[in-house]
């Protein structure tokens, strides 16, 4: 009967396009509904609530609050706001660049080792991945022991053994940011390595062979053939690690706590301090919205680049 | 259409099942007549539970709980602080209490305890029943546990005091003023020692051990009309004195800049073990840790004295400590909770045993007089400093922000990023943004 109805309607093209009956069995709504509800509760609602709170002067310990844009105003006029942006910018840009660079280098080495069936490539891959598997808090503790500036510090001990003086790894305003970035590069290289390694492994070998036959040397093949083919994965990796680094909190908290002063207080740490030290929920939410905006901009920027590359 | 409705109904049913299966709180289990044990929710810092990293404390609390459970047909449900950051844990507890979800027993940090009294009921009658005299607590403890109605809302667990630790073999007479401290420190630095260490980083230890004692020794007030008193006027000069002292210790080489990585008193313990530090600002609670890591001979070298002030005879110290609260509104649970706390931590016998086990200082004066209290050469001095010099952090909601901003100020001065005036100026700006 349904088929007869469809046939009747399709014989009236105008009506059919306007009044086409959508069969229940074809609708995706029932299949997407459970996921939609879960996303609504666990994702959209908290995000909307944080945005709403950013327009209040809510405090964690007081029940009354008012709607105001002062929280945003306070964020931008806070003493140390530019310092915080600078610290975050330096931390993110150097971390991302060196994570990608070191990850690519290690991926290339492991890929070549795998192709030539060299022993030890699995061990190297596993050793690098171990750093990524360790929780951020523990990484902070480990690097804090390494960077300890007293005679009990591991790096200081080796520097003194070699005849140098110990360095103020975590107490100097400039060096502390460099130390933090090094620890983050160590932590995040494995993630880049594994993505880029996957891209190298799935690369069509015939293209590389053709380039070889055409007389392209190793560097030329890397720059003109391998890297362009890997670009979609490179851009995805770039987007992911940039957002991850912007959101970095656990390792920084244990390693420097944002100090000395506020020299390593990145945006994520500032949010934590606003809410749990200053009890200022409104201001913390406003900073969180700022961070969300930055992450969304970066993500959309990369997606646009990816589309231009024809990656998606 | 029918199929669509069926799917919608299925999804709704799944949601209802999920909500129905979610665990409700078990603290509202009534004092039923059945043989089911009454559940008492025990909200605490891990170090005051059977999961404490200190085996003596863990065993003490574990044994006490097991005995109490057996004798009173109760079951303890332990809820640990959600974060290692006490400020954060206290903030979350406050949120919980405001929402009416009160644990039966809660351990609350002393400096925020007065903000919780609006959610608590007086314990005077129950304390009298358990033989605990609220007036036996040190004055600073009574200021915390008593409300404006002079009724008692909590049981101060133990206290601590901030002092100057010094090596007797290197410093025959402890310095009495900061000027003397600087002189002694310079001489020790020439001999290759770290003259003076103190917490100088982003952590509460910096505020309570380095800043407030030096500030209070000058008669400074922390809060005036709900704002930091040292934002202006003579109190500002007093705080500048403190920051200038900190800067001087760095510039004279008495104190290394690495102190900006120490946010807590226990961060200094490794340095003490290395053996190169001659003096440090520390806390009484460090002594049990130091006894654990130093040999008997090494420990013998150390002595304590009041933290030097800016003039002779002027000293200051900060006392901290936790307070037990009994937030439950269930009368039967309240009585049982009070009985447990009294027999485990707070009545005369329990307080002595707890102090002997942990090495923590009692918060009650009469306990210090007890012949059963195991004391060492430090105990009589700590008692003196508790009654003469100790002050507690002001119980105002802005205190965590004041402390956090001053930690940043000190850390900036030590690292050389800012001068004391600039650091205090930045503090004022940050506080004005409230």
Query: What is the DSSP code string of A216-263?
Result: --HHHHIIIIIHHHHHHHHHHHHHHHHHHHHT--HHHHHHTTT-STTT
User: For position A218, what pLDDT does the model report?
Assistant: 84
pLDDT tens digit sequence for B52-99 = 988 889 999 999 999 999 999 999 999 999 887 788 888 889 889 988
Q: Is the dihedral of CA B154, B155, B157, B163 positive or negative?
A: positive
For residue B1, the model assigns a pLDDT of: 58
**How much is the mean pLDDT over chain B?**
90
B299 in Cβ contact with B291 (< 8 Å):
yes
Q: Is the pLDDT score of B245 beyond 60?
A: yes
Q: Do A258 and B202 touch (CB under 8 A)?
A: yes
User: Which of A95-99, B7-11, B150-154, B303-307 is predicted least confidently?
Assistant: B7-11
The reply to whether residue B418 touches residue A25, judged by beta carbons under 8 angstroms, is: no
* pLDDT of A279: 84
Percent of chain B with pLDDT over 70: 93
**Does A152 sit within 8 Å of B274, measured CB to CB?**
yes
3-state secondary structure of B193: coil
Nearest C-alpha in B relative to A283 = B434
Q: Is B326 helix (H, G, I), strand (E, B) or coil?
A: coil
**Does residue B201 contact residue B207 with C-beta atoms inside 8 Å?**
no
Q: What is the pLDDT of residue A11?
A: 55
Is the confidence at residue B381, as pLDDT, over 60?
A: yes
With contacts defined as CB-CB under 8 Å, which chain A residues touch B404? 273, 277-278
Q: How far apart are CA B213 and CA B196, in angstroms?
A: 16
| Measured distance CA(A105)–CA(B120) in Å, rounded | 61
Using the 8-state DSSP alphabet, how is residue B304 labeled? E
Cβ separation of A262 and B276 shorter than 8 Å? Answer: no
How does DSSP assign B148-176, residue by residue?
A: TTS-B--EE--B--EEEEEETTT-SS--S
Give pLDDT < 50 ranges for chain A: 14-17, 312
Band (B23; pLDDT cuts 50, 70, 90):
very low
Disruptive mutation site among A252, A277, A282 for chain B (greatest number of B CBs within 10 Å): A277
Q: Provide the pLDDT for residue B368.
A: 87
User: What predicted TM-score, i.e. pTM, was given to this entire model?
Assistant: 0.83
Residues 262-321 of chain B whose Cβ lies under 8 A from any Cβ of chain A: 263, 270-271, 273-274, 276
**Which whole number is the average pLDDT over B6-30?**
57
ipTM for the predicted complex: 0.81
HEC profile of A65-102: CCECCHHHHHHHHCCCHHHHHHHHHHHHHHHHHHHHHH
Give per-residue pLDDT as tens, B153-168: 999 998 899 999 999 9
- What gap in Å lies between CA B317 and CA B215, rounded to an integer? 9
DSSP assignment of A112-152, as one string?
A: HHHHTT-TTHHHHHHHHHHHHHS-HHHHHHHHHHHH--STT
Strand B38-44 versus strand B105-109 pairing type:
parallel
Tell me, what DSSP letter sits at residue A61? S
Torsion of CA B285, B404, B78, B57, to 10 degrees: -10
Band (pLDDT 50/70/90 cuts) for residue B31 is: very low
pLDDT, tens only, A24-50: 567 888 888 999 999 999 999 999 999
B183-191: average pLDDT: 96
What is the model's pLDDT at position B22?
52
The 10s digit of each residue's pLDDT in A165-176 is: 889 999 999 999
**Which pLDDT score is estimated for B24?**
46
Q: Which residues pair with B374 in a beta bridge?
A: none
Measured CA angle at A245 (ends A243, A247), to 5 deg: 70
DSSP label at residue B296: H
């Amino acid at each position: 009967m349904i088929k007869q109805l469809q046939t009747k309607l399709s014989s009236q093209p105008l009506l059919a396009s306007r009044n086409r009956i959508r069969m229940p069995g074809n609708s995706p709504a029932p299949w997407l509904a459970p996921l939609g509800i879960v996303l609504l509760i666990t994702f959209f609602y908290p995000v909307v609530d944080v945005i709403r709170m950013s327009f209040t002067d809510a405090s964690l310990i007081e029940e009354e609050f008012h709607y105001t844009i002062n929280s945003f105003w306070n964020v931008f006029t806070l003493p140390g706001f530019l310092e915080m942006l600078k610290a975050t910018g330096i931390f993110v840009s150097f971390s991302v660049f060196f994570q990608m660079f070191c990850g690519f280098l290690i991926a290339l080495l492991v890929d070549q080792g795998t192709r030539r069936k060299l022993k030890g490539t699995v061990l190297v891959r596993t050793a690098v991945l171990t750093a990524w598997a360790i929780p951020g808090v523990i990484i902070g503790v480990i690097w804090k022991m390494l960077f300890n500036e007293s005679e009990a510090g591991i790096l200081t001990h080796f520097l003194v053994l070699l005849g140098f003086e110990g360095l103020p790894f975590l107490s100097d305003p400039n060096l502390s940011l460099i130390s933090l970035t090094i620890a983050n590069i160590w932590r995040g290289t494995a993630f880049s390595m594994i993505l880029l390694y996957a891209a190298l492994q799935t690369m069509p070998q015939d293209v590389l062979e053709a380039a070889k036959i055409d007389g392209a040397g190793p560097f030329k093949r890397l720059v003109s053939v391998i890297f362009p083919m890997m670009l979609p994965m490179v851009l995805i990796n770039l987007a992911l690690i940039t957002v991850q680094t912007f959101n970095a909190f656990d390792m920084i908290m244990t390693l420097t706590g944002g100090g000395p002063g506020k020299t390593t207080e990145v945006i994520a740490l500032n949010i934590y301090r606003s809410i749990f030290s200053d009890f200022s929920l409104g201001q913390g939410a406003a900073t969180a919205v700022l961070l969300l905006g930055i992450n969304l901009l970066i993500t959309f920027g990369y997606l646009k680049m990816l589309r231009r590359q024809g990656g998606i | 259409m029918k199929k669509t409705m069926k799917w919608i109904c299925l999804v709704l049913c799944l949601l209802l099942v999920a909500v129905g299966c979610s665990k409700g709180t078990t603290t509202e289990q009534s004092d039923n007549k059945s043989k089911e044990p009454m559940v008492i929710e025990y909200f605490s810092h891990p170090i005051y539970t059977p999961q404490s990293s200190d085996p003596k404390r863990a065993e003490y609390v574990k044994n006490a709980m097991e005995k109490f459970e057996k004798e009173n047909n109760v079951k303890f449900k332990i809820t640990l602080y959600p974060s290692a950051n006490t400020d954060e844990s206290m903030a979350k507890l406050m949120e919980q209490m405001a929402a009416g979800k009160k644990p039966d027993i809660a351990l609350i940090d002393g400096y925020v305890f007065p903000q919780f009294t609006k959610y608590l009921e007086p314990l005077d009658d129950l304390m009298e029943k358990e033989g605990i005299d609220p007036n036996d607590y040190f004055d600073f403890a009574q200021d915390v546990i008593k409300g404006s109605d002079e009724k008692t809302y909590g049981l101060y667990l133990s206290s601590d005091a901030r002092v100057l630790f010094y090596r007797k073999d290197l410093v025959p007479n402890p310095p009495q003023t900061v000027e003397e401290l600087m002189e002694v420190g310079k001489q020790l630095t020439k001999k290759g020692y770290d003259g003076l260490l103190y917490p100088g980083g982003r952590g509460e230890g910096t505020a309570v051990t380095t800043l407030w004692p030096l500030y209070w020794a000058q008669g400074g007030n922390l809060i005036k009309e709900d704002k930091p008193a040292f934002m202006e006027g003579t109190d500002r000069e007093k705080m500048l004195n403190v920051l200038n002292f900190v800067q001087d210790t760095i510039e004279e080489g008495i104190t290394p800049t690495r102190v900006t990585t120490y946010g807590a008193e226990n961060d200094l313990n490794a340095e003490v073990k290395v053996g190169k530090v001659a003096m440090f600002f520390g806390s009484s609670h460090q002594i049990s840790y130091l006894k654990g890591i130093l040999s008997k001979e090494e420990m013998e070298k150390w002595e304590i004295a009041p933290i030097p002030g800016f003039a002779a005879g002027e000293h200051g110290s900060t006392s901290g400590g936790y307070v037990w609260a009994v937030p439950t509104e269930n009368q039967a649970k309240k009585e049982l909770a009070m009985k447990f706390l009294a027999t485990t931590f707070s009545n005369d016998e329990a307080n002595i045993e707890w102090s002997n086990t942990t090495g923590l200082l009692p918060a009650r004066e009469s306990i210090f007089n007890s012949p059963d209290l195991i004391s060492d050469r430090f105990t009589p001095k700590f008692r003196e400093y508790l009654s003469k010099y100790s002050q507690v952090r002001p119980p105002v909601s802005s205190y965590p922000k004041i402390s956090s901003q001053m930690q940043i100020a000190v850390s900036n001065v030590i690292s050389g990023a800012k001068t004391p005036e600039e650091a205090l100026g930045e503090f004022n700006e940050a506080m004005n943004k409230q």
